Amino acid sequence: MAWLDSKIRSGGLVQPQPLKVELPESPPPPPPPLAPPTGMPTKDEFVAAAAPKPGMPALGVVAGPPPAQDLIQQEAQAVAESFRTGGASAAAQKLQELVNQHHGDPATGADPTYADKLLQAAQPTLEQVSQVLGHRAGNDVDDDTKDAFGKKDVTRDTLTALAAVAEKAGPEALKSLGKTLATGLPDDGQLNQFDDVLKSLKKDHAVGVARLGGATVTELQGLGKQQAAKELSKDHDALDYGGRWKPGQPLSEAKNAHLTNTQEQFADAVNSDHNWFEGDVQLNSDGVLEMSHGEGGNQLSLKDWLAKGKELGVGMKLDIKFDDPKVEDPAKQKAAFEEMLKLAKESGIPDERLMFNVGIGETKQFGSTIRELFPNATLAVNPSNGDGKLNEAEAKEMIAVAEQAGPGPVTYVVNYDSLTHERYAKNEEIDASLKLLEEKGSVSVWNSYQHPGKSPVGDPKQATEELRERGVTGVVDLRKSPWYTRLAEY
């Protein structure tokens, strides 16, 4: 009943006073007819209480909790009060605290639109926060200088909190936040610690900094503040609120972040120009689907990985592993695969931004289910011979299982070594197989860049151009090979 206590303290509700019953000065009139019974005479029926007798005070009924919109307004007032008593950083931190508390999955009782609602309701306070940041940027006020509330690190603390909120904001709310910050900034090539702090936060993988910085750049450009936009864009790309990957884009325009399993890897990808994020789906020892490929760091659960990708508007490539630990039991593997598809569906990511990377066996077993649940998602079919030479038999097998799954977008995934190793040089069967696959879909290429003995990639850009010349139209995901795999080049 905290809301009721708050109402009483603010004067919104009048505290009930003790009843004062005065004896009548004259004999009472004859008693009225008996009223119907009151209260709950049995467990199955309820009889409303009779109206109060003449002269008796009417007791009001205590209201239920205020509507959700009223709560949003109350919490926006809490943000405003934090600004009044603690300044810009206190207001931003209160905003972050409330968003962390109330924004999230409705299955847990949270509100997935809470951040947007609170940002809208707290707009007047955000404008004041923006004015403070703009003043500090335009007047060279460093973070080691105390503000009127005796606080240091005002710019850093404020932007850190706003970035965390930006991570959870929808497109319109994010645009509004970026515009608010851009409005307060001077059009100057020197933004003092505003751009320095954002650059530092990006280096530290701070949550949401790419979205906040990108939105601010976009809105600076929209307001015609080109000097400030140019300065900030040195470290932050202008943000496209519609998402990095658009429906209808050809896979040849895909820039794949090959590893996004951990929070650190995901943050690196966010701060890059990648528009597809790839993750390796595993079933951990606790029976939870998570993203892992043997690397250290803070592993993301599949559910969190999907949610973060949805907010960014990037393509999400699910590479189904189930090999660390190895899932041997077919029934357990089937249940895990079905749970993965369930979580992908519940994520709400549009089909066009989903890709399922599967082998021949998985395509045979689950391909039709994927097509049924995600008719416009891309099925990425891998050959059964792994890194061996691409040949006609492999090409025909991949085409057959893809067609068996049903109509829909498909790309055929082959290893760079399968196309380019010196032992396959000028192999006509490879080119014929490439052509056959491209007639039925597209071919996507990746490389085992750390493995000695595989075809090394010294210049990924040049190698990509060569593949395009050979007719490859899918995703080309080549990473530069370490020096020890390229000794033959020297």
Domain that holds residue 107: 68-232
59 in any annotated domain = no
Check if the beta carbon of residue 357 is closer than 8 Å to that of residue 319.
yes
- First vs last Cα of the chain: how many Å apart? 75
53 in any annotated domain = no
Beta bridge partners, 445, equal 414, 476
| CATH code of residue 270 | 3.20.20.190
Mean pLDDT, to the nearest integer, of 417-440?
A: 83
Strand locations in 401-489 (E) = 410-415, 442-446, 476-477
- Structurally, the chain folds into a number of domains equal to 2
Query: Of all residues in the chain, what percent carry a pLDDT higher than 90?
Result: 64
Residue 3 has pLDDT above 80, yes or no: no
286 in any annotated domain = yes
Q: What is the pTM of this model?
A: 0.66
- Helix, strand, coil fractions of the chain, as percent rounded to 5: 50, 10, 40
Amino acid identity at 126: L
Mean pLDDT, to the nearest integer, of 345-372?
A: 96
Residues 6+ positions from 173 with CB-CB distance below 8 Å? 115, 116, 119, 120
Residue 450 has pLDDT above 70, yes or no: no
Annotate 176-221 with DSSP letters as a single string. Answer: HHHHHHHHHS-S-S--THHHHHHHHHHHTT-TTHHHHHHHHHHHHH
246 in any annotated domain = no
Query: In angstroms, what is the C-alpha Rg of the chain?
Result: 31
257 shares a domain with 371: yes
222 shares a domain with 261: no
Helix extents (H) in 57-122 = 68-102, 114-121
472 shares a domain with 378: yes
402 shares a domain with 456: yes
In this structure, are strands 276-283 and 315-320 parallel, antiparallel, or unpaired? Answer: parallel
Helix 209-222 vs helix 171-184: angle between axes, to the nearest 10 degrees? 60
296 shares a domain with 160: no
Segment 100-130, tens digit of pLDDT: 999 987 777 889 899 999 999 999 999 999 9
Separation between Cα atoms, residue 337 and residue 366, nearest integer Å: 8
390 shares a domain with 357: yes
Residue 435 has pLDDT above 50, yes or no: yes
Q: What's the distance, CA 417 to chain centroid?
A: 34
* Torsion angles phi and psi, residue 316, rounded to 5: -120, 115
277 shares a domain with 220: no
Segment 330-356, tens digit of pLDDT: 999 999 999 999 999 999 999 999 999
pLDDT confidence of residue 319: 96
Q: How many CB atoms lie within 10 A of CB 417?
A: 24
420 in any annotated domain = yes
Compute CA distances 129 → 10, 115, 135, 180, whole Å: 25, 17, 10, 9
Q: What's the distance, CA 457 to chain centroid?
A: 32
Separation between Cα atoms, residue 275 and residue 315, nearest integer Å: 6
For residue 328, which of 340, 338, 318, 336 has the smallest C-alpha distance?
336
Amino acid identity at 217: V
Work out the pLDDT band at 410, boundaries 50, 70, 90: very high
Which H helix or E strand runs over 46? Answer: strand 45-47
456 shares a domain with 350: yes
Sign of the CA dihedral running 272, 278, 284, 289: positive
DSSP letter (8 states) at residue 386: T
220 shares a domain with 277: no
For residue 278, which of 437, 446, 395, 390 has the smallest C-alpha distance?
446
Separation between Cα atoms, residue 182 and residue 130, nearest integer Å: 8
375 shares a domain with 266: yes
Range ranked top by mean pLDDT from 358-372, 411-425, 472-486:
358-372
Residue 325 has pLDDT above 90, yes or no: no
Compute CA distances 305 → 46, 259, 261, 284, whole Å: 51, 12, 8, 15
Token readout for 215 is 């939105």
224 shares a domain with 263: no
Query: Of all residues in the chain, what percent carry a pLDDT higher than 70?
Result: 82
Q: What's the distance, CA 126 to chain centroid?
A: 23
Angle of CA points 241, 243, 244, to nearest 5°: 125
135 in any annotated domain = yes
Number of residues written out for the chain: 490
50 in any annotated domain = no
Check if the beta carbon of residue 358 is closer than 8 Å to that of residue 380.
yes
Compute CA distances 377 → 309, 367, 412, whole Å: 15, 11, 14
Segment 10-60, tens digit of pLDDT: 444 333 333 333 333 444 444 444 444 444 333 333 334 444 445 444 434
Domain boundary among 232, 264, 282: 232
Domain boundary among 205, 232, 259: 232
pLDDT confidence of residue 422: 61
Q: How many CB atoms lie within 10 A of CB 240?
A: 14
Mean pLDDT lowest among 353-367, 419-433, 437-451: 419-433
Give the residue carrying structure tokens 């940027």: 137
1 in any annotated domain = no
407 shares a domain with 302: yes
Helix (H, G, I), strand (E, B) or coil at 326: strand
Domain boundary among 232, 265, 299: 232
